[in-house]
Amino acid sequence: MRVSGLGHRYSRLRPWLFRGLEFELQRGEILSILGPNARGKTTLLKCLSGLLAPREGTVECAPGIGYVPQDHGAGPAFTVAEMVLMGRTRHLRPYQSPRREDHDAADAAMQRVGVADWAHRDYSELSGGQRQLVLIARAVASGCELLILDEPASALDLHNQSRVLGVLAGLAADGMGIIMTTHHPDHALHVSRNALLFVGSDDTRWGPTEDLLTGPALSEVYGLPICTPTVGTVSGDRVIAVPDFGPSCRACPVPEAVGAPVPADALPLHVSPRKDHP
């Protein structure tokens, strides 16, 4: 993908969300997009995927884009296999039923992403992390060369974050291009060669992740002190982002006798303590 002079705003009376945006994405590369809420990241993804026409600039990319949105309801009671098979829709004529090759592509996508064991489960009963993997499998089943994801690891526990990132890294290793938004600088530092940092509508920075996501730059973007130390992990040294949220809650004063009986006159007026209660 090559993006040149890209800009968008929703009307002439509203400010530009971004303008003059320039970046490239190579095959097998993961690009992470970071920035504050309401800065235009999701709008940018819609412009890149063709769901929204930008006000100015151009987007050149290989055909076949898979898009995984951030918000998705459970919908009707489809099985996981049926959800993934929906990714084959663009290969079918109107009213045409899925063919053997479509079922094979869906099965291969479920195997590739690691959700084949859930094929007959009800999609609406899955956890958030499981649903996210199913939607990634659906996009893979479409045969896309470029996968665009809006905060794929949001609201997931640490295990599912690791699992989603591992799947994306594996797809990139197979040659797929991946663009994702994230509020976790650590995720970008872990899997992305390059990053795109939204600082302001006229200040959007693109470059190597470790060069771009420095403490001063992240502090400027998010409005609080952030440092980026190198720490040792089981798999080797890694750069991480550590925000300073302010004084620790552990420093706040607490009652001297935690769990001591509450005096009756301190209880709300509508509560009457039982006489037999200590």
* Cβ(149)–Cβ(160) below 8 Å: no
Least reliable range by pLDDT among 67-76, 115-124, 180-189, 205-214: 67-76
At 160, is the pLDDT very low, low, confident or very high (cuts 50, 70, 90)? confident
Identify residue 118 by its one-letter amino acid code: W
Q: Which residues pair with 179 in a beta bridge?
A: 31, 148
Sign of CA dihedral 99, 84, 189, 215: positive
- For residue 271, pLDDT over 60 is answered with no
Average pLDDT, the chain: 88
Residue 174 CB coordination number (10 Å):
10
For residue 150, pLDDT over 90 is answered with yes
**Mean pLDDT score, 141-146:** 94
Asked which of 127-131, 200-204, 271-275 is least confident by mean pLDDT, the reply is: 271-275
What integer pLDDT is reported at residue 4 of this predicted model?
Answer: 95
Task: Over range 189-200, report the average pLDDT.
Answer: 93
Which sign, positive or negative, has the C-alpha torsion 119, 121, 127, 132?
positive
* H or E stretch covering 109: helix 100-113
Q: Is residue 176 pLDDT above 60, yes or no?
A: yes
Residue 79, strand partner residues: 122
- Give CA separation, 259 vs 255, 256, 262, 269, 273, in Å: 9, 9, 8, 21, 16
CB atoms within 10 A of CB 81: 20
Give residue 62's pLDDT: 81
- The CA-atom distances, in angstroms, between 21 and each of 115, 150, 175, 200 are 36, 18, 25, 11
- In angstroms, rounded to a whole number, what is the distance separating the alpha carbons of residues 117 and 81? 10
| Token representation of residue 277 | 């209660």
Report the first-to-last Cα separation within the chain, whole angstroms. 70
Q: Which CATH architecture has domain 2-210?
A: 3-Layer(aba) Sandwich (3.40)
What pLDDT is attached to residue 274? Answer: 56
Whether the pLDDT of residue 129 is over 90: the answer is: no
pLDDT value of position 252 = 64
To the nearest 10 degrees (0 to 180), the angle between helices 128-141 and 100-113 is 140
Which residue type occupies 217? A
Q: Could you give the angle at the alpha carbon of 200 between the alpha carbons of 198 and 203, nearest 5°?
A: 80
Tokens 């987007």 label which residue?
Answer: 59
Instruction: Band the pLDDT of 265: cuts 50, 70, 90.
Output: low
Q: State pLDDT tens for residues 11-47.
A: 988 999 999 999 999 999 999 999 998 889 999 999 9
